[in-house]
Structure 1
Amino acid sequence: MTFALALTPDLLRLVALPVFAWVAVRDIKTRRVSSGVWIPLALLGGVLLVWDGWLARSAGGTVWTHEFLLPAVISMGFVVPIAYLFWWVGGFGGADAKALMVLAVLFPTVPRYAVGDWTLPLASPPIGAFSFTILTNAVLVGVLIPIVLAIRNAAAGRVGTVMFVGWPVSVERIPETHGRLLETESGLSRGGLDLDALRMYLRWRGRSLSDVRENPEYFRDPATLPDDPNPPTDGAITAEVRSDGGTLERDTDDDAATPPIDHDFDDPWGAVAFLEDIDHSAYGTTPEELREGLEVLASRDRVWISPGMPFLVPVFVGLVIAFTYGDLLMSLLV
């Protein structure tokens, strides 16, 4: 902000940089960010919003109307509803939406920082709603991700329709990888089994992916489902998993290692039984997607996945750009 005595609130807002750096790294590694992260930032933003409002009201004139009130209304009245809407339709994850809502409260106006002879950000947003600048910067950074993927795949000679959204990985890495399978038995697809849902299934069943790959005919039979399934967790790589492996009905038989006769089952892989047992809460996964994914992973050594880059990474990069340079979109349009 440009009015006097606004330096202290703007300095306090700098705490957002290390916090968003941390959540971006955590989102890459775990795809999980605790809701508790946002509460202190939201409270800080509320206090600073009132503080800035009091300073602007004291200054009066255009400082109150144009430099504070108008940007604050845009930030709270546009960015917050946009974040909620995109979460509601599935375009954002819960953490992404909460992050943008917090930014709307924390950065309703443009902060100013004197660094030597420079005043940051270098390019002032014409609207003045700093949270909107962060959002547009993040979207522009996010657009670059498919381009980077395509360049990486093209350099390796991998050219095709999925080169913009994924890359191939060894099946051995799947249990420790986030993303979505981009392969079906008939070829490449733009969408497939969520790997978090796969981990939920394997943990529920008490088996590893290597177990399934060693004897797919056996595990395809729903009669081999455990009598006492394990907690499926939420599919996170870092989730605590019960280590006893569960108890499989056929594991107690003398011929447990012998695969059953291959025939058509009513519920191959026990996909329906699994989803019904967990109230169909495996990230929207259908029995068909689960079966198709298991068939692919049981028979191939390398598969295409979409890493699904979390939006908090572009948000952090957009925040850094906003703090230093300013509004990328306006610079491109002018």
Structure 2
Amino acid sequence: MSILYLTALAKVLLCAIILSLASFEDWRTREISDIFWFVMGSCGAILTAIEMVMDFSLNRLIVLALSVAACLALGFGLYYVGFFGGADAKCLWCLGVTLPYNPTSSLGLNALGPQNPIFSISIFNNSILTAALLALGIACFNAIRRIRGPLFSGEEESSLWRRSIALVLGYKMRVSRALSKKDFYFPLEEFVIEDGGVKRRFRLLTRCLDDDPYIKLKELVDKGVVKGDDEIWVSPAIPLIVNITVGFFIALFYGDLVLAIAKGLLNLIL
């Protein structure tokens, strides 16, 4: 039993355990302790260093550098625009250090689909694709609701592209319920007092705002300007760590879903 086999096995077990525990916490509370990422990142870095010492090559060094750089850039970028929370970014950074190389060859696993040379990017690709399925589900839900009546009431002044994005990011919910479940939903619109009346405006990236949009909403409800039975567009606070965990297991036993789709499309075209 080689050292590379043992380090690959240790990495897979480490990530499987940490990601599973973090997913449970993310699903239950939408908050994850930094201890998960400290353990995963530090242990993963040590195991990667052992692999580098035991089987050093320029190719390994390049893959490691690309993995770390790509995960850092993606984590920072997606956090900045509001698509990632802090825990999601930290998880991706840890994966960049812990799983730059595909462990399947060292473990003797035969993945069914195409393999990305940078394993952490395979996990990222799979997680984004599984998260996109939720957007498809939300769009279908809104399409069904549209049959029963109009979806937009007061947001007609918003641009077509904003309303289109809202259709795949969220759905309407009573204000009272949104306030009681504020850790699980992000408001996609705000109520603004203008010209003696209340107007609605979409704010689609509320996750990256410094101010808490619920504070202003609660003040308007307390003043009676907005009623608890009024509806507001909200987006579910997606537990992305769950998607990352699913993406990890898909990458381990199947491969890269994005590469598989791209390969299938190329086969159809060519």
Give the shorter-chain TM-score range: 0.7 to 0.9
Shift of 1:303: 4.4
Structure 1: 4+ residue segments shifted above 6 A: none
Code of the aligned partner of 1:125: Q
How big is each residue's C-alpha offset from its partner over 1:222-245, in whole Å with a ceiling of 9 and x where there is no partner?
Answer: xxxxxxxxxxxxxxxxxxxxxxxx
Q: Which residue of 2 aligns with 1:181?
A: 187
Q: Which residue of 2 aligns with 1:133?
A: 122
Q: Which runs of 5+ in 1 are unaligned?
A: 58-63, 195-279
Structure 1 residues 182 and 83, CA gap change in structure 2 (3 angstroms): closer
Distance 2:101 2:205 in 1: 42
Structure 1 residues 306 and 8, CA gap change in structure 2 (3 angstroms): same
TM-score, L = length of structure 1: 0.60
Structure 1 residues 77 and 281, CA gap change in structure 2 (3 angstroms): closer
Shift of 1:105: 0.9
Q: Which runs of 5+ in 2 are unaligned?
A: 152-162, 192-197, 264-270
Q: Identify which range, 46-55 or 16-25, moves more after superposition.
A: 16-25
Shift of 1:136: 1.6
Partner residue of 1:307 out of 231, 236, 239 = 236
Structure 1 residues 293 and 129, CA gap change in structure 2 (3 angstroms): farther
Q: Which residue of 2 aligns with 1:237?
A: none
Alignment of 1:59-208 (within 5 A): 64-66=57-59, 68-112=60-104, 119-126=109-116, 128-156=117-145, 157=147, 160=151, 161=163, 162-171=166-175, 173-174=177-178, 175-177=180-182, 178-182=184-188, 184=191, 185-186=198-199, 189=202, 191=204
Distance 1:312 1:97 in 2: 10
Equivalent pair of 1:27/1:310 in contact (CA under 8 Å): yes
**Identical aligned residues as a percent:** 24
Alignment of 1:1-334 (within 5 A): 5-13=3-11, 14-57=13-56, 64-66=57-59, 68-112=60-104, 119-126=109-116, 128-156=117-145, 157=147, 160=151, 161=163, 162-171=166-175, 173-174=177-178, 175-177=180-182, 178-182=184-188, 184=191, 185-186=198-199, 189=202, 191=204, 282-283=211-212, 285=213, 291-292=219-220, 298-300=227-229, 303-334=232-263
Q: Which residue of 2 aligns with 1:205?
A: none
Structure 1 residues 165 and 87, CA gap change in structure 2 (3 angstroms): closer
Shift of 1:155: 3.3
Shift of 1:95: 0.9
Code of the aligned partner of 1:30: T
- Higher CA-based Rg: 1
